[in-house]
Amino acid sequence: MKILVVGSGGREHALAWKLAQSERVQTVFVAPGNGGTALDRNLKDINLSDPAALADFALQEHIAITVVGPEVPLAAGIVNLFRERGLKIFGPTKEAAQLESSKDFAKSFMQRHHIPTAQYQTFSDLKAAHAYLDTHGAPIVIKADGLAAGKGVVVAMNIAEAHAAVDMMLSDNKLGDAGARVVIEEFLSGEEASFIVMVDGKNILPLATSQDHKRLLDHDLGPNTGGMGAYSPAPIVTPELHARVMREIIQPTVQGMAKDGIVFTGFLYAGLMIDEHGNPKTLEFNCRMGDPETQPIMARLKTDLVNVMEHAVNGTLDSIALEWDRRTAMGVVMAAAGYPDAPVKGANITGIPHDTSDCITFHAGTSLNGGQLSVSGGRVLCVVGLGDTVKSAQKHAYDVVEQIQFEGAQFRKDIGWRALNRKH
């Protein structure tokens, strides 16, 4: 059968790489793909990204299942469009994707269904927003309502920063429509984890746990990024906490969406904040897999992903179990010079070794021209090491990172530090 993966990042390379391992697959198309998917002889890039053009392609090519990586086409309704045309696709409808595409939607949904999350209020009026800040004080968190590619959240540690964030969004319109409404919410402290499940509308299949690193620099310093590395499993998510997150957050979310008449299908990603007593709260929902969490998660998945996707689009996820490599997978992102503010494109990339049983290099912002691989985006590569211990996974990843060269490459040297510190 033929499969289509929509997207061009490291997440999509990892999904396509895993889908292509299935013996049932004839071709995995990636639209539009990147330098890594172009190099992989098991994958075929197609230069399309418009949802209607993709649906035409899927019909022509008799694509059995389409898997969507990023949030933007989901929020634009690619799933609605494919289904109207009789095509099987894994992802949420435009309506269900509001869990990610509108922070206000997600917050009022959580409040209505008693899902633990920070206290909040939503504003479009500038004066009212400033007054709320004055009443509540700092630290406090200001979030643009709409999709902002990771640039829509300000965690204000003092009140001046909080007022500036509200001005930036509501009065200077720096984020456009996405910032025309803001959610102002209570600051939560603790440790973050990513909790990702697959949902077929009713049944829920949890993926392996993971944790990412948002800040650019070692010791979690510097600006926020799309993610500089991630690993799986996340030792903070104990079996007890896992059960609790399923019971208090994931199940009520899936049931609540169905109750509200917006059946959720697709990957559901809850960004969690776990406080010092081990209580989880939901920071946000994403309606897709995380990037870079996907890369270490796919590196550990042993089950045939095509079978899993087939159950997912047919509503039978209750009849499949996932099997995981017991090793730790540690993904280290190599980013372009100037990332995240102004990534420099064009540098040639050399030294990527062949994948082995303990290290895989996934591409993100790379392109292949006449056999030469070069930098074409902010996050360039994600090198995933596997090992019996966190330490050996980390070593396998960094041994390969050190071999790869491009001008101005940035990467953190401490990916996995939380897991390493948590000695058991």
Residue 153 interacting entry, from Mg ion, ligand ADP, none, C-beta within 5 to 8 Å by type: ligand ADP
The nearest distance, CB 126 to ligand ADP, in angstroms, is 21
When the beta carbons of 192 and 260 are compared against ligand ADP, the nearer one is 192
Q: Which candidate, 47, 25, 24, 43, places its Cα nearest to that of 362?
A: 43
When the beta carbons of 57 and 187 are compared against ligand ADP, the nearer one is 187
Residue 325 φ/ψ region, left for φ over 0, alpha for ψ in the -120 to 50 degree band, beta for the rest? beta
Does residue 43 belong to the site contacting ligand ADP (CB under 6 A)? no
Instruction: Write the CA distances from 39 to 111, 254, 354, 355, 361, integer angstroms.
Output: 47, 38, 12, 13, 12
The nearest distance, CB 9 to Mg ion, in angstroms, is 15
The nearest distance, CB 184 to ligand ADP, in angstroms, is 10
Tokens of 375: 């930098």
Residue 214 interacting entry, from Mg ion, ligand ADP, none, C-beta within 5 to 8 Å by type: ligand ADP
The nearest distance, CB 189 to ligand ADP, in angstroms, is 7
- In the region spanning residues 146 to 165, those forming contacts with ligand ADP, defined by CB under 6 A, are 150, 152-153, 155
- In the region spanning residues 183 to 222, those forming contacts with ligand ADP, defined by CB under 6 A, are 185-188, 192, 214
User: Under 8 Å CB-to-CB from 246, ≥6 apart: which residues?
Assistant: 204, 206
When the beta carbons of 253 and 366 are compared against ligand ADP, the nearer one is 253
When the beta carbons of 152 and 331 are compared against ligand ADP, the nearer one is 152
Q: Select the residue whose beta carbon is closest to Mg ion and give its number.
A: 271
Q: HEC states along 58-76?
A: HHHCCEEEEEECCHHHHHC
Q: In terms of DSSP H, where are the helices of 281-405?
A: 294-300, 305-314, 390-401
Helix (H) or strand (E) run with residue 267 in it: strand 265-274
Q: How far apart are CA 67 and CA 265, in angstroms?
A: 12
Does residue 168 belong to the site contacting ligand ADP (CB under 6 A)? no
Instruction: Write the CA distances from 66 to 141, 328, 389, 415, integer angstroms.
Output: 36, 29, 35, 32
Give contact residues for Mg ion (rule: CB under 5 A): 271
Residue 71 interacting entry, from ligand ADP, Mg ion, none, C-beta within 5 to 8 Å by type: none
The nearest distance, CB 423 to ligand ADP, in angstroms, is 24
- In the region spanning residues 108 to 147, those forming contacts with ligand ADP, defined by CB under 6 A, are 118, 141, 143
Instruction: Evaluate whether 313 touches 89 at the Cβ level (below 8 Å).
Output: yes
Q: How far apart are CA 228 and CA 304, in angstroms?
A: 28
Residue 260 interacting entry, from ligand ADP, Mg ion, none, C-beta within 5 to 8 Å by type: none
When the beta carbons of 201 and 271 are compared against Mg ion, the nearer one is 271
Where along the sequence are the contacts to ligand ADP (CB under 6 A)?
A: 118, 141, 143, 150, 152-153, 155, 185-188, 192, 214, 271, 283-284
